[in-house]
Amino acid sequence: MSRVVLIDAGGSNIGSVQYALQRIGVEAPLTRDAGQIRAAERVILPGVGAAMPAMQRLREAGLIELIRQLQQPLLGVCVGMQILFERSEEGDVDCLGLLPGRVQKLAGGEGLRIPHMGWNRVFKQQADEPLLVGIEDGAHAYFVHSYAVLDLSAAAAICEHGQRFVAVARRGNVAGAQFHPERSATFGARLLENFVR
């Protein structure tokens, strides 16, 4: 049994997420095997691209209900986080519904480019959030996205790019990171270590 598994939902960041986990001493196989996912202690759902094709790949693999029923800690990354919510405007698609809120296009504004790409500060919403232990409030993380969750009810940490959005989400065993932990240096490595622990 693998202690940590990565769900193969497609996306170009899967290899870099695997490598980031290897750097902290964790071997996490990439899988669509329901038994392997169900047996893991921790499950990570990475994704790059758009919500509609990510949901389609999960549907084709027969994994949607399995993911909804997981009791162990689940971490979504980037689009993998977005599809944990109820619905996405990107492709107008129903998502997994594990977290409250919907994914909306960032508005941008004067001097603000969309996609939001690059380093930005992340601010904790709960000082005792286990995913953020050892991470300084206002630390920088690396973002690449045009859509975000603006409803902050499940936010463990927020970021701002013209408007405030969820940077880290958590409710019960379900968590997500809008930024890329695999590209976010010490912050990203610590978040992954906290999740694995």
Which of 100, 116, 92, 109 has its CA nearest to residue 150?
A: 100
Report the 3 state secondary structure along 69-97: HCCCCEEEECHHHHCCCCEECCCCEECCC
Rounded Cα distance between 156 and 125, Å, is 5
Q: Which of 78, 90, 145, 159 is catalytic?
A: 78
**Please, are residues 74 and 174 in contact by the beta-carbon 8 Å criterion?**
yes
Catalytic residue among 65, 145, 180, 193: 180
| Catalytic-residue membership of 78 | yes
Catalytic-labelled residue, pool 95, 116, 159, 182: 182
Is residue 140 among the annotated active site residues? no
Question: What number of other Cβ atoms are within 10 A of residue 39's Cβ?
Answer: 13
Token pair in block for residue 42: 């921790």
Structure tokens that stand for 168 in this block: 């880290």
Q: Which sequence positions are flagged as catalytic?
A: 78, 180, 182
